[in-house]
Amino acid sequence: MNLSPDLLARARAVRMLVFDVDGVLTDGSLFYGDDGQEYKAFHSRDGHGIKMLRAGGIEVAIITGRTSRVVPLRALNLGIEHVHQGAEDKLEAFDRLLADTGLAPDQIAYMGDDLVDLPVLNRCGLAITVPDAPAEVLARCHVITRAPAGRGAAREACELLLRAQDRWAGLLARYDR
């Protein structure tokens, strides 16, 4: 892994990765059924990356501006305990998360994709986004994934942290028999 010394130091300090949902864990599409039910598509490899991240000792949280019944279900499936939905002010939710966990901003990586994520991206220790984010977001992030949102971007962020913290090989050994 070829990371600059600054990026490597930032990634090594991370103790929690916080995800936005729409446009990060999903491709940003919003599907509604005739009954008004909202549907979201999550990628299984992103989910496994999150499980590996947690197994590697890095906590995971969600801060999303929308409220959906499927988000807590997905979080439960992945073992994510900290879920903040309906966060109109994501920085306020981020500050609550800091208070709840006792972590410092530089110990948190945040992965967001839109202008509403900028306050947290500007404050966290490691700012991550996806390739199709607006230019203002791209300009302020330390990492831009190669994989698109909802199609491996979250997995890429998880692997980056695990590799930077020298935890990847130990986790991979479980599968490489």
pLDDT digits (tens, 9 = 90+) for 112-124: 999 999 999 999 9
pLDDT tens digits, one per residue of 29-52 = 988 889 988 889 999 999 999 999
Angle at 120 between CA 115 and CA 125, to 5 degrees: 130
Mean pLDDT within 62-69: 95
Whether the CA torsion 57, 58, 63, 64 is positive or negative: it is negative
Q: At residue 62, does pLDDT exceed 90?
A: yes
When pLDDT is averaged across residues 151-175 and rounded to a whole number, the result is: 95
Q: Is the pLDDT of residue 3 over 90?
A: no
CATH class for the region spanning 5-29+39-89+113-167: alpha beta
pTM as predicted: 0.95
Q: Would you state the pLDDT for residue 156?
A: 97
Q: Rounded to the nearest 5°, which phi and psi values hold at 143? A: -130, 135
Residue 177 has pLDDT above 80, yes or no: no
Mean of the pLDDT values across residues 80-108? Answer: 97
* pLDDT above 80 (res 108): yes
**Cα distances (angstroms) measured from residue 153 to each of 91, 97, 105, 124:** 22, 23, 22, 18
Residue 149, Cβ density class (10 Å: 0-12 exposed, 13-18 middle, ≥19 buried): buried
